[in-house]
Amino acid sequence: MDKRTTHFGFQDVPVEEKASRVADVFHSVAARYDVMNDLMSFGIHRVWKRLTIERAGVRPGHKVLDIAGGTGDLALKFSRIVGPTGKVILADINASMLNVGRDKLIDNGAGGNVDYVQANAECLPFPDNTFDCITIAFGLRNVTDKDKALASMARILKPGGRLLVLEFSKPPNPLLSKAYDEYSFRLLPRMGEMVAGDADSYRYLAESIRMHPDQQTLKGMMETAGLERVEFTNLTGGIVALHRGIKL
């Protein structure tokens, strides 16, 4: 691949165009994002996120960053855990998603311990050694330079802090993988058209999942970024994987 291009789904596009193209996708789907998540995963995404919160080890008084936090599922739970002495920052590169997340958290009673920041994961605008925990759920695959983003996350973690990456991955079972492909490329765009009026965005999401690094590759990328004791857990047969690393 030419150094000046990157993948947008199955297309090669100029590096400088990818962020705006991804932004267009999420501007389009923001209003129906939660509904589509429930439909696409048959509600199982809530179980995946609950496990992420359990593995995060967040406690009262902690400072937590949720990157690509979208509509705020993780941030809402974290705000209740860290309490009034803690702080949660919901960050997203996309203003539409951030606005939906802000409205959702306010409607659900999230208090003054949540801040909202529009930020690019590749150059996070926070000082070194700031956060006890960083999460990114279903967002890393949309980042142009994943290595740069992981290094940026590692930089702003406190020593002893944890990074958790929840992302679609590669099912090791070939039968499950084939069935998952059939679902992703045939049914998902149709659901996107019916529910969100946007088949193309959900076709891109299916393609972006296939272009994302597999479990072992992402583990190595996290280690290269400076994280230690990196491990992953396959969820729902490896359709999704939860990676966890610690900054020592």
Count of other CB atoms within 10 angstroms of residue 18: 19
Contacts 24+ apart (CB under 8 A), 8-15: 8/204, 8/208, 9/203, 9/204, 9/206, 9/207, 9/208, 9/211, 10/207, 10/210, 10/211, 15/144
Beta bridge partners of 117: 91
| Helical pair 73-82 and 95-107, crossing angle rounded to 10 deg | 50
CB 26 within 8 A of CB 97: yes
CA distance 91 to 106: 15
| Residue 68, marked binder | no
List, in order, residues 6 or more apart from 220 with CB less than 8 Å away: none
Q: Which of 241, 243, 207 is nearest to 228 (CA)?
A: 243
Extract the tokens encoding 206. Answer: 């299916």
| Residue 6, marked binder | no
| Residue 154, marked binder | no
CA distance 4 to 191: 34
| Residue 94, marked binder | no
List residues forming the annotated binding site. Answer: 71, 92, 120-121
Binding-site entries for S-adenosyl-L-methionine: 71, 92, 120-121
